[in-house]
Amino acid sequence: MKKKILNKLNIKDNYISKVYFKSLNKFNNNTICFANQVDKKTLKKINRLKSGIIILSKKNSLIKKKILQIINPKPKKFFFKLLNDNVKKSNTNYKKTIFGKNTFIHKTVTFGSNCKIGYGTKILANVVIGDNVIIGRNCNIKSNSVIGQRGFGNFHVKNRIICITHIGGVKIGNDVEIGALNTIAGGTLDNTVIKSNNKFDDHVHIAHNCEIHENNEFTAGVILGGSIKIGKNNFFGLNSTIKNGIKIGNNNLIGTSSNVVKNISSDNLVYGNPAKTFKKN
Catalytic residues: 208
| N-term to C-term CA, the chain | 57
User: 3-state SS of the chain?
Assistant: CHHHHHHHCCCCCCCCCCCEECCHHHCCCCEEEECCCCCHHHHHHHHCCCCEEEEECCCCCCCCCCEEEEECCCHHHHHHHHHHHHCCCCCCCCCCCEECCCCEECCCCEECCCCEECCCCEECCCCEECCCEEECCCCEECCCCEECCCCCCEEEECCEEEECCCCCCEEECCCCEECCCCEECCCCCCCEEECCCCEECCCCEECCCCEECCCCEECCCCEECCCCEECCCCEECCCCEECCCCEECCCCEECCCCEECCCECCCEEEEECCEEEEECC
